[in-house]
Structure 1
Amino acid sequence: MGGFLYLTLLNIAPVPINIYPDITISLPVSLPLLAAFSGGVVTVMLLYFYDTFIDTVNKARKSALDKRARRVVELYDTGAEQLRLNNSGQAEKYFKKALAHDQSHTPSIIGLGVIRRMDGMVSEAVKLHSKARGIDKNSVTALMELGEDYIAAEQFTNAVSVFQEVIGLVGRSLPPHIRIRDILLKTRNFKEAISAQKRIVSIAPSGQAQKERAMLTALTYEEALDKLAGGRFYDARDGLKSVLRNDGQFIPAYLKLAEVYERIGSTKNSIKTLVKGFKATRSILVLKALEMFLSARGEMDKVVDNYKWAKNLEPDNEVIRLLLADAYVNVSNFALARAEIDSLNGSLAHTTLYHLIEGKIQHGENNIDQALNSYGKAREKEAMSCLSFTCSACGGASHEFSGRCKACGQWNALRAVLS
C-alpha cells in the first residue's frame, strides 16, 4: 500500500490497457502494480497451504499404513508362536486375522500352508505355498515349504525341482542341498545321493564339514549294503573298501567286508580284514567276529593266539582278558583260564560271561558244587546278552548291533560292552 500511495503522489501518467478490441481504459500505474503484488501474495499463500495440506495427508496415510503393517506383524508373530507351541488352531486364527488386514502378507499365507500340511491337506498346502510364491517369487521360505509339500505328497521329482530353484536363489546354502540328498536316499538312489552329499561337503562351513564327511562315508556304506543285498558281492566289496579308505575307524564296514569275503569264498581275507579292523579300532565287536570266523574253521588255538595278541595291544583291557580266559576254557586250559580270571579286579564279576567262565573252570577242576553255583548265577542273568551295545553319541542302549544307532541315527557309534 505504501508503494501505491507513493506512485499516486508522484502522479505518473496513466497506463492504457486494452480490455477488449475497441475498449481501452487508462489506469494509474500504481493499480496494476498493486494487483500484481496482491495476486502474488495470494498465490504464494495458496501454494503454501496446498503443500502443507498434501504433506499432512501423506503423513496421515503413512501413519495409518505403518499402524496396519505393525498390526499385521503382531498378528503374524502371535500366530507363529502358537504354531511353534503346536497350537495350530490358534495359529490359524491369527494368520487369518493378519490376512484380513493384508491379503498379500506372504508369511501368513505360508503359515496357513504349513498348518494345512500338518492336517494332511497337502493339496491345499501346495495351493497356499504356490500363492505365496506367486506374490514373492524370491521367497525362499515359500519355496522350501512348497518342496516339503511335494515330499509329503510323494511328488519327489517336483520337490527336487523346487529345491533346485531355491539353490538358484541362495547358492551355497545347505538346507536345499540336504533336502535333495534326503529325497534321493528315500528313493534309494544312492549314486545321486552320494553326489549330492559331496556337494554338501564342499560347501559346509568348517564347523560342520567333519559331520558331513562322516555322512558321506555312511552313505557309501549304505550303497555297499544295497549292492550286497542285491547279490553284487564284488561291487559291495569295493564299496566297503572305499568306506574304510575314507574312515579307517568305521567298525560296521570291517564286519561287513569280512562277511563279503566269506560269501565269495575268501575266509583268509575275512580274517585279515578283522585283524586289521581290531588294530585300527580296538573294538571288542571286531575281536568277537574274528573269534567266530576262526572257531567256524575249528582253529581254536588261533582264537587263543588272537586274544593273547589283543591283550598285548590292550594290556589294561579287562574285557579282553575275560575273553582270553574263555578261549583258554574252550581249549581245556583251565589253569591259564583261572590265572586270567584271578587277575581281574572284580569290575566284571557281575557279568553273565564271568559267571559262565567261572562255572566252566570249576567244572574243569571237578568242583561241581561251585560250578553249579556259578552256572546258577549266570542263569539268573541269561535274559541278558553277554554283549550289549551303547551309543557313544546319545548313550542309548541296544542288545543288537547295527551300523547306525536306532535312537539318534548316528553312524558307527555303537560300542560293545559286557552285561
Structure 2
Amino acid sequence: MDKIVQAIRQSAIPLTKNDGYSILLEKAAQVKHVLLGESSHGTSEFYKIRAQLSKRLIEDLGYSFIAVEGDWPACQKVNRYIKGYDQVHKNAREVLSTFHRWPTWMWANEEMIELIEWIKELNLKRPKNNQVGFYGIDVYSLWESMEEIIHYLEKINSPDIEKAKKAFACFEPFNREAQMYGVSAAFYSEDCHDEVIQLLTEIVTNKEKYTSLEESQLNLEVNALITANAENYYRTMVVNDNESWNIRDQHMVEVLNKISSFYGQESKGIIWEHNTHVGDARATDMTDAGMVNVGQIVREQLGTENVFIVGFGTHRGTVIAADAWGDDFKKIVVPSAQEESWEDFLHKAGPYDKMIIFSENTSEFNKRMGHRAIGVVYDPRYEHFGNYVPSILPQRYNAFIYVDSSNALQPLKLEKIYI
C-alpha cells in the first residue's frame, strides 16, 4: 500500500493557497453539471468549500442554479428570497428559520447564510432572465407539496382544484405519517396511486394554462411530480429499501432535468448532495445490490464528458448528527479513519488539506477500498461495521477534496417537525 501513499503525494494539490481550486474550475468549465458531494451532512468545511466553488462557478463560468438534497417547498422560499419574489423575510437567517423538517441542520445552518446573501446581491445586479436559482430536488415533501398545489390552484381558481383536493383527501387518514401510509399501501392495497397519477397527468396536460410569473408553472409541475413519486417511494420503502433508494435518486434527476429545461438548453447546474448520491454507484458495491444514484444517471444521460463529480472526505474531527432518526442533533467526535481506507491513505500521504484531480496518470488508485460515509444518524463506536463504502475513487469521482481535520456544522436553533 506504500505505492498508493506515494501516488497520492505525487498527485495531490495542497489546498493552502487561494488558487488551489483553479485546476478543478478549468476542468469544470465546459460541462453541463458539476456535482459537489460531502461525506457527512454535518461538516462545516464541506459547506464552506462547496460555497466557495459555487461562487466561482456562477460568477466566472456562468452556472445558472444550485440544486440541493433538500425539500422543494422549503428551498423555494430561499429561491423566492434570492430572486426578490419574497417581500416577507428580511434576510437569509429568517428564510432558513422556516426549515422545520428533520434534519433541519442540513440547510438551516450558519454556513448557508453568507452564500444565500451573496446570491441575492448578485441577482440584484442581473436581469430577471439571468438570475441564479436555488432548488431542493428531494422526494420527501409529499404533504407540503400537495398543500402548495392546492394553495396555488385555489388562488387562480383552477378547474383542476377538485382533483387536487381528491388526492389530498386520500392521504388525510394517514395523519402525515409516511410509515403508516407505506404499510397500508404495501400490505393492504390502501393507496392513493391512481389519485396522484391523475393529478400529475392533469397538471402536465394543462401546464400551459398556468402563469410563468415568479416560476409558478415550474413550481406547480414539480410539486405534482413530487406528489406522484413520493407516493411511490413511501409505498415501496417498507418492502424494498434498494428499490425505494432508486425511486428517490431517479426522482432527483427528473427534477434536475426540469430545472435545467426551465433555464434553457445552454444552462449549467451545480448539485450539492451526499457522496452516496453524487459519486457514481457503479464504482461501489451499490451496483451489486442493483442500486443506482444521481451521479450514475446523469453520466448515462449526458455523457461522462459533460459531468464533473467532486467527492469530499475527512480523516477525523467533529460532525453534527443524531443518535437515532428524529432525535435532537449533537456534536459528535469523528475518530481517525479506518486503517487502509482512502481517508487513511490520504492522511498518511501528509496531514494537510489536499485535492486530487483523477486522470489516466492516477491508475494506481484503481483499487476498491473503504471510503467513509456518515449519515444524519451516526454512532462512531460502530462505524467500522457500516460507514465505509467500498469504492474505486477515480471511477466514482472526477476529483476528490480531502480535509484532514474537520469541524462540526453550526446549526440554527429551530423547532423541529418529524417526518
Q: Which has the higher contact order (CA 8 A, sep 6+)?
A: 2
Q: Which has the larger share of helix?
A: 1
Shared fold, TM over 0.5: no
TM superposition score normalised by structure 2? 0.25
Q: Which has the larger share of strand?
A: 2
